[in-house]
Amino acid sequence: MTVSELVSAVKQYNLTLTVLEKAATTHPSPQQVLNVLIARDEVRAVLTAKTQNDEESLMVIIFLDQRLKKQAGLITKIVNLAEWRASLHPSPEAWWWFLEPPIQRWDHLDGLWSALSVTSLTATLSLVVDISTRFLSGGPDTLAAFAVISQSCLTLLAAGGVLTTAGRQAIESLLKKLKIPKHFWHEASCGFAGLLLLCTIAFRLSLPEIAKEYNKKGVEDYYAGRLTSALFNFNRAIKLNPDDFDAHYYLGSLYDTELFDFDRASAEYQLAVQAGNNKAYNNLARIYILQDKKYDAAVTLLLDGLRKVRDKDVRYSLHKNLGWVRLKQKRYAEAKAELQEAIELGRDKAPAYCLLAQVLEGQNKKKNALSEWEKCLNQASSNLPDEDNWIGMAQERLKGDK
């Protein structure tokens, strides 16, 4: 090898590098990149051969190498040097085949973005577990299966993209197709993890609205006599939103009037009262009167209900039951006053007449009581347990009067 060969190789290196630099703003081709790398290979081959080195050429080589390194970002953007190395197997000493894009200033925050991604995914996973537990309690249905599967799959895919090699490669491939610069990959992954977390939070916040739909379906099933389905839907509504007082009320009503499980009914009514369901005041007080003989507790509950409730039908029931508990306590004057208040609110309803008749009997006003027993008998329904019992009492009293 001669000095002229070194000079020639350096000139070719300079020429190809200059072409690449001039094409930087006009989308240089992979071929132009390859020409530069091959030209640099030629320079290396001349330098490693036994020859006399021209000091001037050596200085030029140093200068050209500096220019080549400045094009690292452009080169790595145009071609995948890793794939080229796999095909051509350059020497590890040929550093130009191992160029890396320059470190951007925001790349120093890659560790922070990765930490935020992991934090977001951890929070998302916790929410997915919570949502899945709520939906799957009591057995899955179509909506529950879709919600759990979709949320779980998205979370697992995102977690795999951050935590596994195969997942990262898949994410990187997607980011390349989207033409997102490599120095933004950590930010993009963090953004995806954050978006997934926000979507999961939004879904979690929507559970009360979904619970309303389950409760609505439960009410339809309840009144249609589909008790098993109604029980499932009320329980699902409560799992999705424990503060759904309507679901607690209707579930308590189902236990009370259909399944005769008064302990569970009482528990559900208590939760409904705490959540603000006005109807539950009356129903819970009724259980206190009939099952538990908790007259003082019933009075407190009924008086509290009367202070809060404005609905005419509900107030009728509250006055009626307050009269009922006063009857049980043998406080006849107070019972009579409450029952008369109830009658003013619902003259077409039997219970207040039936109870007022018993109050009058307690006051030894049996003739007055007979008039109330007649009204009780005319309006009572044998389909309702309490009223059916009072129908028997009315018939007995009126029969004895004849």
Reply yes or no on whether the pLDDT at 338 is more than 90. yes
pLDDT at 178: 57
148 contacts: CB under 8 Å, gap ≥ 6: 128, 131, 132, 135, 136, 140
pLDDT at 274: 86
Nearest to 238 by CA among 130, 125, 137, 132: 137
CA 350 to each of CA 167, 296, 339, 381, 398: distance values in angstroms, whole numbers, following the listed order:
71, 25, 11, 8, 16
Residue whose pair of structure tokens reads 């409450």 in the numeric block: 338
Reply yes or no on whether the pLDDT at 162 is more than 70. no
Chain segment 79-94, per-residue pLDDT in tens = 889 899 999 999 989 9
pLDDT band at 197 (very low <50, low <70, confident <90, very high): confident
pLDDT band at 354 (very low <50, low <70, confident <90, very high): very high
Reply yes or no on whether the pLDDT at 148 is more than 70. no
pLDDT at 204: 85
Q: What is the mean pLDDT of residues 6-25?
A: 89
pLDDT at 168: 55
pLDDT at 355: 95
pLDDT at 76: 86
pLDDT band at 144 (very low <50, low <70, confident <90, very high): low
Mean pLDDT, the chain, rounded, equals 83
Task: Give the start-to-end residue ranges of the domains of the chain.
Answer: 3-102, 107-205, 348-402
Out of 127-131, 176-180, 221-225, least confident range? 176-180
Position with higher pLDDT, 335 vs 5: 335
Q: How far apart are CA 318 and CA 165, in angstroms?
A: 67
pLDDT at 74: 86
Residue whose pair of structure tokens reads 């603000």 in the numeric block: 276
- CB-CB contact of 329 with 295 (8 Å): yes
What is the 3-class SS of 296-340, one letter each residue? Answer: HHHHHHHHHHHHHCCCHHHHHHHHHHHHHHHHHCCCHHHHHHHHH
Chain segment 285-308, per-residue pLDDT in tens = 989 988 878 899 999 999 999 998
pLDDT at 252: 94
CA 77 to each of CA 27, 80, 81, 94, 102: distance values in angstroms, whole numbers, following the listed order:
10, 8, 10, 19, 11
Q: What is the mean pLDDT of residues 20-35?
A: 88
Tokens linked to 76? 């790595």
Reply yes or no on whether the pLDDT at 198 is more than 80. yes
Reply yes or no on whether the pLDDT at 112 is more than 80. no
pLDDT band at 46 (very low <50, low <70, confident <90, very high): confident
pLDDT at 104: 57
Nearest to 169 by CA among 150, 192, 184, 189: 189
